[in-house]
Amino acid sequence: MRILVVGASKGLGRALVEGLGGVGDTLIGVARTRPAPGARQVQWVEADLARPREAAAAIFDAVAAGGLDVLVYNVGLWEARAFEDDYRFVDDDDQHIEHMVGCNLTAPLLLIKRLLPVLLESPRPRIVLTGSTSGLPGSGRPEVAFGASKFGLRGIAEALREGYRQQGLGVSCLNLGYLNTEDGLDVPLADAERRGEGALIPLHDVVQVCRMMLSLSSASYVRDITLPAIRDERF
């Protein structure tokens, strides 16, 4: 498989390029700047999703010749005071809201539009959108712009499924709760799961779920998965 991970320089994105695929598979990471080399061989594409049109063109140019089987869109910006007790929507900066919507919604729309002809040449094309529990009904979160963009990401998935079902395109939305981004895959899972005392999800678990999703045959796909922390009382 040729797997493209957008937002791959750190945190969950870095864990995905390190943990997905197997022998013979190619991992392609997208980041604003090329990160330091890791343990795994990764092809890097430098692109800034804050400039969606330019980023979509650069990514297309980098992958079109070799083909593509999987697109993982892992970008999610949030408000400056998001998840803090003093968050207030009316205090959000207008320019930052525009930037968030550009990266969280405009960029995936333009990138998917550009890459679809390449993806649909694959015998098993897949798109994985990393959403959030904040984009689910009854999430209990007040962050307006972030929540709206994650609701919108689920809308993108719904429409793509209907528009390209006959071409075999599987579109999955992974609704994630609070993550432990401090511990990478190099940290043993037993240690990573202790951080947050059940309130944070180890990156290892997200990678494991994605590996399962990509291991399915062309006859099925995962529509939605909600992955909250065990002590997240909202779910």
pLDDT tens string 150-192? 999 999 999 999 999 999 999 999 999 999 999 999 999 999 9
Total count of domains within the chain? 1
Instruction: State both tokens at 96.
Output: 């930052």
Check pLDDT > 90 for residue 25. yes
* In a domain? residue 205: yes
Query: Residue 156 belongs to a domain with what CATH number?
Result: 3.40.50.720
Instruction: Note the pLDDT of residue 79.
Output: 87
Give the Å distances, CA to CA, from 95 to 79, 84, 88, 115, 116.
11, 20, 16, 28, 30
* In a domain? residue 235: no
Structure confidence at residue 75 as a pLDDT band (50, 70, 90): confident
Distance CA 68, CA 115 (A): 8
* In a domain? residue 164: yes
Instruction: Note the pLDDT of residue 38.
Output: 67
* In a domain? residue 68: yes
**Torsion sign, CA atoms 140, 143, 148, 151:** negative
Radius of gyration of the chain (CA): 17
Instruction: Note the pLDDT of residue 39.
Output: 58
Contact 206, 179 (CB under 8 A): yes
Provide the whole-model pTM.
0.93
**What residue type is assigned to position 208 of the chain?**
Q
Contact 202, 193 (CB under 8 A): yes
* In a domain? residue 232: no
First vs last C-alpha separation in the chain: 34
* Structural domain boundaries enclosing 37: 2-42+50-227
Give percent above pLDDT 70 in the chain: 99
Compute the 3-state secondary structure of the chain and give helix, strand, coil in percent, each to the nearest 5.
40, 15, 45
* In a domain? residue 220: yes
* In a domain? residue 73: yes
Instruction: Note the pLDDT of residue 228.
Output: 95
Instruction: Note the pLDDT of residue 36.
Output: 74
Per-residue pLDDT reduced to its tens digit, 58-67:
999 999 999 9
* In a domain? residue 234: no
Contact 108, 101 (CB under 8 A): no
